[in-house]
Amino acid sequence: GAVVSQHPSWVICKSGTSVKIECRSLDFQATTMFWYRQFPKQSLMLMATSNEGSKATYEQGVEKDKFLINHASLTLSTLTVTSAHPEDSSFYICSAEPSRGYNEQFFGPGTRLTVL
């Protein structure tokens, strides 16, 4: 099956710092990747759609200057949380849709971000 990895799996940082999260498709190419945020006991909320070689498409209410997304290759997308604050603490999950052969998206294991 298709495997998606995320790094780091968890991170603790001080308020005001920036954190970069990587999402990689390990055995397939993905022209499109998605970034989600999930608060405790809640469902996944789509933050943005990341397209290789072009700008990300952000969902309404998501600040694009705060959540920087770069999809530089067909196997890597990064999410940078800039000037993180405690309210940004959450579980961030990426998913990737293979360019061919599958109907579903494959999810990474998630990154637990805690901002002190």
Residues near another protein, by CB under 8 A: 32, 34, 42-46, 49, 57, 91, 93, 95, 97, 103-110, 112
Q: How far is the CB of 3 from another protein (least distance, A)?
A: 11
Q: How far is the CB of 43 from another protein (least distance, A)?
A: 5
Task: Say what the alpha-carbon torsion angle 96, 82, 66, 71 is, to the nearest 10 degrees.
Answer: -30
Please, which residue, 2 or 76, has the CB nearer to another protein? 2
In angstroms, the CA 74 to CA 116 distance is 34
Please, which residue, 25 or 32, has the CB nearer to another protein? 32
Give the burial class of 89: count Cβ atoms within 10 A of its Cβ; 0-12 exposed, 13-18 middle, 19 or more buried. middle
Please, which residue, 15 or 64, has the CB nearer to another protein? 64
DSSP, res 41: T
